[in-house]
Structure 1
Amino acid sequence: MSDAETADSEPVDVEGTGSDEDAYMGRREKRREDAALLTGRAEYTDDHEPPGTVHLAFVRSEHGHADLEGIDASAAEAMDGVLGVYTWADVDASPSPGRLPLSGLDPDVPAHPILATDRVRYHGQPIAAVVAEDRYRARDAVDAVEIEYEPREAVVDPRAATDPDAPQLFEAASDNVATAAEMGDADTTDEAFSAADRTVEIDLENNRLIPSALEPRAAVAEFDADDGFTVTMTSQSPHGHRRKLAHTLGVREGEIRVVSPRVGGGFGHKGHHHPGEAMAAWCARELERPVKWTATRSGNYLEGAHGRDHRTTAELAVDDDGSIRGVRAETVANVGGYGLGGGARMPVRYGRLLSSQYAIDAIHCETRAVFTNTAPIHSYRGAGRPEAIYVTERLIDIAADELGMDPVELRRRNLLEPDEFPYETPVGATYDSGDYEPAMEKALEAIGYDEYRDRPEFRPGETNAPDDDGLVRGVGVANYVESTAGGFESGLVRALPDGDVEVYAGTHSHGQGHETTYAQLVADALEVPLERIHVSEGDTAAIPTGTGTFGSRSTLVGGNAVVESAEKVLAKARQIAAAELGVDPERVEYEDGTFTVLEGDETVSFAEVADVAYGWNTPDGLEPGLEATTFYESEGAAYTFGTHACIVAVDPDTGDVEIERYVAVDDCGERVNPLIVDGQVHGGVAQGIGQALYEAVAYDEDGTLLTDSMDDYGVPRAADVPPIETDATVTPSPLNDLGVKGIGEAGTIAAPPAAVNAVCDAIGVDHVDMPLTGERVWRAIASEQKE
């Protein structure tokens, strides 16, 4: 954390955007959540253990692809403390459909079963469920279940999976293609390429990642014949999970209550429906006892949704003066062994951001999403935006080298101008607002870009000369846009009789700081002290409905929803105050929690009005109570943008890479709490650096996951993440009254291309695939030296 992140709360002023000293908007308020989190008083799902709780564990497939010839659970069932061992036959004989909901695919492609049917399609797929009195006996019983397999040939590479001779996972998915789509106009793009002075091409891999939240997925399911299910679980979308659980269990949504307490990180994979939560609920009904399931770290790695995993060939057409004419991309994206929710549709939309910050008249993108014998893939922090921006930002650096032009100058010549917004790209995205050059110039100045390029050690197009310490250094820059928000969100604001205010939102925080941000917004709207605002999320019984937290959407839709509800509450409070003061509402002004008669001395406080609202003498025509609910729907996506830059040092003898400086300049519109914005940028950059330098999922040719623990999967440690210098510009979104945009995924979008551009600049090569391990970088240097 930077010093700025630990500073006392204070108003800020960025790029001329003024801040009212009395307003909470723009203050660096410390997060209200943190005291409970840091002292261990916060309750997570695994802390919840109702009386009589029993424990669930899974027997998982040892093969990437195999037929199930037999399951012998007799030894496990005979063990002391084991209450049941269940297979697909038991689920199939129950009233539950037993499959996770699936969207966007051929209806003949089967959805993911909560327990394997007659065939397993990835290593770690759940085959049987064991329930025992405690988690240790459950795990012992898992080892006692004997599975007879008939192995099948596996395929793990998505490009290889499209070969007609490759093993087929589903009859309804010819050549293993789950879905395919194209964006942009092929003919226009072909013409742009024909007319261009030059073209450059790249073949790259966007490496597969595993979400590694501090808290693994978990659920505690309770069942009552009269009240239905209560499922306490880790969730980014409690109402979404209620709907998906209802589908899998074959019950009405009203029969399920989902409660999501504190959530220790999500990054996408806690927004999806998985076998664990569904099976816990199924077993709770079967046994009529509370059933707890907490994923092990290795179980989460085996069966939790993975992310990314694209193979892309892309081209950029450019004239000698640096004008970009067009971009073409062809991508094969991995879906895994089953479609998971809408995960198979996600890759075919990634091309919408290939334009990045640039005026590119012609873009054409073809994408195929492909089944393989690997864990299912769904959204991982960024969900398509990092993949698209990585393609474009890598192409621009390669094109600059081809032209003999500074890569920043090539970017500068093609930036969209502020008066071009709203701007519709050739692939259908409509950018709401932007002013790209000031953010880029801030980043360049902060990193010392010009000074770096003037160093005698800098040698464009070849390996830079070593510094006195023997290391070669490089600088990388990446511009980005991030589409944020979408859909609707609910927000309820209720004033209590004593003037305290309760806020309920359909989003759910898993590190974003909603309890602080929403309180700041409502405190401003009602002009009441921050400490009188109490924010709640995560209980489908308390909140009308909601969409959830993902895609950097919460402040844009959730924030606007609670503000609109607060404004409705204030409007009703004004009517009550007017009645109390004996004047028309138009004659009442409101400031700092007090209603005052214009040109008079009579006053009534907000708390006094709230007390009247719940009394026996509510003014005529007004219902008792003082609350309002809003279902806010965004007018469209708001596009955050920015520039990240970093300097790396590479050891030419070993290929080891160290990021020495990292600068992030982001523009997410108006910033409710810059401290929380900085925190989100820090977290995203750390994950982006993880992808660039350390993280990659590895399967062997039989579909066995080789990186099934933190011993093998390279999550960056604290020492691996450099200090992150943050700054901002402010370009409000015209699509919402708050002028806000999202920020949660910016770092994961910008950091990978910035880091790869820097390493390629240092060692003088066109491209090295992520992660930039010492061996890969060393081999790239050796190859360059041979040439």
Structure 2
Amino acid sequence: MMDGITPEAARHILPAGPGKVVGRGVARIEDGPLLRGEGRFAADVNFPRQLHMRVVRAELAHARLLRVDASAARTMPGVVAVWTAEDVAEIPPIPFRATKVRGLEPYCQPVLARDRLRYVGEPVAVVFADDAYRAEDAAEMVVVEAEELPVLLDATAPPAEFAPGLDTEPTVVRKEYGEVGAAFRAAHAVVELELSVGRHSGVPLETRGAIARYDASSDVLELHGTAKKQHWNRDEIARLLGRPPNGVHLFEGHVGGGFGVRGELYPEDLLVCAAALRLRRPIKWIEDRREHFVATNHSREQHHRIRAAVDAEGRLLAIDDAFFHDQGAYVRTHGARVADLAAGMLPGPYRLPAYRVAGHFRLTNKTPAATYRAPGRFETTFVRERLMDAIAHRLGLDPVEVRRRNLVAAAEMPFARPLDTLGTDIILDSGDYEGLLDKALARFGWDAMQEELAARRAAGECVGAGLAFFVEKSGLGPSDGVRISIDATGAVELVSGAASVGQGVETVLAQICAEALGVDYARVRVVHGRTDRIEFGNGAHASRVTVMSGSATWEAALAVREMALETAGTLLQLPPSELTIAEGVVCRADGATGPSVTLAEVARRMGPNAPEMRGRTPGLTAERWFWSDHMAYPYGVHLAQLRIDRGTGAVTVERYLVANDIGRAINPVLVEGQIRGGFAQGLGGALFEEFRYDPQGQPLSTTFADYLIPTIAEMPVVDVLIAEDAPSPLNPLGVKGAGEGGTNAVGAAFAAAVDDALRRPGAVTSLPILPAQVRRMLDGAA
């Protein structure tokens, strides 16, 4: 296996070249600079006369801020400035993106702490010096005087005061439909569980970085090192700093992992921009690993009290859930998105006549939280699938059969739920859930495996298997635009408002463009992550790029193709309907010999100096937009087989399968990579990773010695089954997102497998499943 790609998949990797490319595992076109060591990450960006910024961070979880004394720091060699809250009082708190949840504004984070310190790691002051080490030395000289206040660390505890007139529960996310009370009264059985998911986050190889430069000659502020949401960040930076958006340009370089936590608008981004404007020198800030642990968005932490009403056959009648979402100290740019996604997506793939949920969105004295790969779904898939396992045990049914009886049928698609999330109605667009379940069970050899595990248990081994179903969401609208141009050499340029966080954006968009145009995909130059090249864009989040940017690419490429055929028809004296484009050449569609013309020549004939273009807009170029009112819903099933060491409680994954229907795979090899990478992060959240705090709110997970992430030694060979049985009817390509399905159900599948190994249904009630916890369960079983 090479780089996580199976030999079977590797055989489908093709060298760059012409031909039909959608649906084929062609080689990535963005990897050349990375393989040659020529990548440009945030730390690689430097400008003459630049200053380095160092952040002074709070060391108390909750305190009244009395005074910040920076006098000693200001006198140190190389120090140009030291700022506290008074120096940036004119900059408003950082807002959140569009949300239907109201009343969150007072909970937004200021760029520097003002009256209170609310979590360890909160920015209190910033130092600017001519050297990174001098800045760090000076930061240590800044004295922060504060009076400790009571610390709130438990989101299930009664809310406390956040500020006068405000408590630590900004909102409760409520969703409900059907006759919940009647369903519970009529139920054959009621199953109740209390479940929790620990606090963790994306830990990218590359920490955050921001480099700002003000070009006075053009009155443009530049920010380098951005990712994910360049255009929204541009607009907010401009608004918060009192500049027009066209006077702010954001530039994306290579990104060493995003995972939802990178690319948001953080205090540090605004501070480097403000400093570049005020100090008239470039400002560079690179986050160290400890800062990342205490300052970059956390996620996941939820506690659920859920119950289900079922009939005698194990069919769901209603679900009633109350959960507590630990948001941390402030509401950052995501608003209440994770809680809203959890509430809206909890029903998953199952038919559910009645549903009620109350998501208590609560603040604590911890690092603020937001999205992390499969936000709200990793958590609620664990909760929902634990519930399905409990129903099976309660009624003496097979866990697979209980799921089968409750799955929404293919004939019922599209299946509308009376729910919404992220501002859109939930309409499951397409799917054959039971069909994929059957494929996955057969691929895994489920029945034969059960016999094998029984024999191994009889011989004294502690082994088990489990499965979990999931539904994802992707293709969040409302729109995306792409501009495609062909120059006089025949090269194709595609400019997109999408962003890259390593998922293969350039290759996938190039494949789609090449398929529509009939050119070599390696000749398509994809430009992204630059607000100076395209006015609008929605970046990369919510597994949207292939659906939204890909569909816009398809439409724009077809428009360019039509223009090229029209002009070529004039040149060749043939109707455009009789022409096609193959390998960048316009020729007869019926294959007959005859005159032809290259796209390069067509582009030259459409250039600004061509007589034929007099009175017309020159250029072989088109811009098209794709709009979508509803998201697409990929889905899948995870199957796990594992072994437990009775002495240590350590869990070893022996086999794992992810079956995922994504509608249509533009590049199957990239999809496999996305799924395996997602699994690795799900593995961490299921078995290793958890941010912990002591009773005073001091973080206990600030290095890789105490915050464990899986290594290659813990990664099993993950079998991937990519299904294309249910193309989405919502876009011209039939695609659905593939970025989060590998993460979604890992915790749920492992929980079921650990239960099975222990022969204790319902034993696992929380994630991560740590060895000490397993040891206690083993002792309890004994």
TM-score by length of 2: 0.94
Query: Contact (CA 8 Å) 1:351, 1:427: kept in 2 or not?
Result: no
In 2, the alpha carbon distance for the partners of 1:49 and 1:395 equals 53
Q: Find the residue that maps to 1:299 and give its secondary structure.
A: helix
Identity of matched residues, %: 34
Give RMSD over aligned pairs.
Answer: 2.0
Q: 1:119 to 1:296 in 2, by over 3 A?
A: same
1:472 is aligned to 462
Match of 1:339 in 2: 331
1:529 aligns with 520
In the alignment, which residue of structure 1 is the partner of 2:556?
A: 565
Deviation by residue 1:13-59 (Cα, 9 ceiling, x = unmatched):
xxxxxxxx941011111212223223311111110101111100110
Structure-2 separation of matches of 1:223 and 1:406: 64
> 1:99, 1:636 → 2: CA distance?
28
Deviations 1:191-244 (A, max 9, x none): 122212112111111211122011111010001334231010231121121122
Partner of 1:422: 414
What are the superposed Cα offsets for residues 673-727 of structure 1, whole Å, 9 maximum, x if unpaired? 0000000000111101110000111112221111112121111111111110111
Check the 8 A contact 2:693/2:700 in 1, yes or no.
Answer: yes
Partners of 1:155 and 1:486 in 2: CA distance: 35
Deviation at 1:113, TM superposition (A): 0.7
Partner of 1:367: 359
2:664 equivalent to 1:667? no
What corresponds to 2:642 in structure 1? 648
2:423 is matched with: none
Residue in 1 that maps onto 2:620: 626
Whether 1:271 and 2:252 are equivalent positions in the alignment is no
- Give the counterpart letter for 2:344 in structure 1: R
Q: Which residue type is aligned with residue 268 of structure 1?
A: G
Contact 2:93–2:108 (CA under 8 A) maintained in structure 1: no
Which segment is superposed worse, 438-447 or 285-294?
A: 438-447
Q: 2:73 aligns with which of 61, 71, 76?
A: 76
Aligned position for 2:732 = 737
The answer to whether residue 180 in structure 2 is matched with residue 189 in structure 1 is yes
The aligned counterpart of 1:122 is 119
CA drift of 1:670 comes to: 0.7
- Are the equivalent residues in 2 in contact too, given 1:482–1:640 (CA < 8 A)? yes
Residues 313 and 330 in structure 1, CA contact (< 8 A), matched pair in contact too: yes
**Structure 1 stretch displaced more, 352-361 or 733-742:** 352-361
| 1:198 maps to which of 189, 194, 197 | 189
Choose the corresponding residue for 1:35, options 32, 36, 39. 32
Match in the other structure for 2:230: 238
Shift of 1:448: 2.3
Q: Tell me which amino acid in the other structure corresponds to 1:36.
A: P
How many residues align? The count is 762
Contact 1:222–1:281 under 8 Å retained in 2:
yes
Measured in 1, the distance between the counterparts of 2:332 and 2:296 equals 10
AA aligned opposite 1:670: R
Q: 2:657 and 2:487 mapped to 1: Cα distance?
A: 45
CA distance in 2, matches of 1:72, 1:312: 44
Q: Aligned runs of 1:127-206 on 2, under 5 Å?
A: 127-160=124-157, 162-163=158-159, 166=160, 168-174=161-167, 176-185=168-177, 188-206=179-197
1:172 Cα deviation after fit: 4.3
Q: 1:494: how far off?
A: 0.8
Cα displacement string for residues 368-418 of structure 1 (whole angstroms, at most 9, x for unaligned residues): 100111111111111212222221111001111111111011111122111
The answer as to 2:247 corresponding to 1:251 is no
Which residue of structure 1 lines up, in the alignment, with residue 673 of structure 2? 679
Secondary structure at the aligned position of 1:638 is classed as coil
CA 1:510/1:59 → structure 2, altered by over 3 Å: closer, same or farther? same
- State the 1:447 CA deviation: 2.3
- Give the Å deviation of 1:321: 1.6
TM-score w.r.t. length of structure 1: 0.93
Q: Given the alignment of the two structures, is residue 481 of structure 1 paired with residue 471 of structure 2, yes or no?
A: yes
Residue pairs, 1:530-609, within 5 angstroms = 530-596=521-587, 601-609=594-602
Residue of structure 2 in register with 1:753 after alignment: 748
Q: Contact (CA 8 Å) 1:218, 1:295: kept in 2 or not?
A: yes
Structure 1 residue 315: Cα displacement: 1.2
Paired AA for residue 763 in structure 2: H
Equivalent residue letter for 1:356: G
- What is residue 369 of structure 2 aligned with on the other side? 377
Task: Indicate conservation of the 8 Å contact 2:72/2:142, yes or no.
Answer: yes
Aligned residue type for 1:748: T
Secondary structure of 1:286's aligned partner: helix
2:147 is matched by which residue type in structure 1?
A: E
- Structure 1: where are the runs of 5+ without partners? 12-20, 459-464
> Which segment is superposed worse, 614-623 or 136-145?
614-623
Can you give the 5+ residue segments of structure 2 that lack an aligned partner in the other structure? 421-425
Is the alpha carbon distance of 1:506 and 1:5 closer, same or farther for their aligned partners in structure 2, counting shifts above 3 Å?
A: farther
Deviation (angstroms), 1:738: 0.2
* 8 Å Cα contact 1:326/1:362 also seen in 2: yes
Matched to 2:10, the amino acid is: A
- Structure 2 residue 206 is the aligned partner of structure 1 residue 215: yes
Stretch deviating more after TM superposition (773-782 or 553-562): 773-782
Equivalent position of 2:633 in the other structure: 639
* Paired amino acid for 1:721: M
1:432 counterpart (429, 432, 445): 429
**What is the alpha-carbon distance in structure 2 between the residues aligned to residue 403 and residue 532 of structure 1?**
60
1:763 lines up with 2:758 in the alignment: yes
The offset of 1:551, in angstroms, is 0.8
Q: Secondary structure at the match of 1:58?
A: strand
Q: Which of 68-77 and 211-220 deviates more?
A: 68-77
Which residue identity does 1:511 align to in structure 2?
G
The secondary structure found in structure 2 opposite 1:445 is: helix
For the residue of structure 2 that corresponds to 1:169, the secondary structure is: strand
Deviation of 1:583 after TM superposition, in Å, equals 4.3
Tell me what 2:404 maps to. Answer: 412
Give, in whole Å, the separation in 2 of the partners of 1:320 and 1:658: 36
Q: How has the CA–CA distance of structure 1 residues 98 and 419 changed in structure 2, closer, same or farther, with 3 Å as cutoff? A: closer
What is the letter of the counterpart of residue 347 of structure 2? S
The equivalent of 1:287 in structure 2 is: 279
Q: Kindly indicate whether residue 10 of structure 2 is the aligned counterpart of residue 7 of structure 1.
A: yes
Range 641-650 or range 763-772, more displaced:
763-772
Single out whichever of 318-327 and 342-351 deviates more from structure 2.
342-351
Give per-residue Cα distances to partners, 1:595-639, cap 9 Å, x unaligned: 346788232222221121114223566421011112211241100
- CA contact 2:5–2:669 (8 Å) conserved in 1: no
**What is the alpha-carbon distance in structure 1 between the residues aligned to residue 336 and residue 631 of structure 2?**
21
Secondary structure of the corresponding residue to residue 492 of structure 1: strand
Q: Indicate the residue corresponding to 1:772 in structure 2.
A: 769
Read off the aligned partner of 1:7 and give its amino acid letter: A
Amino acid in structure 2 at the alignment position of 1:300: H
Deviations 1:333-367 (A, max 9, x none): 01111110233343134222222111121111111
Cα deviation, residue 149, structure 1: 1.1
Contact 1:115 1:126 in 2 (8 A): yes
1:233/1:2 CA distance change after superposition, 3 Å: closer
Paired AA for residue 678 in structure 2: G
Question: Residues 315 and 535 (structure 1 numbering): CA distance in 2 closer, same or farther, change over 3 Å?
Answer: same
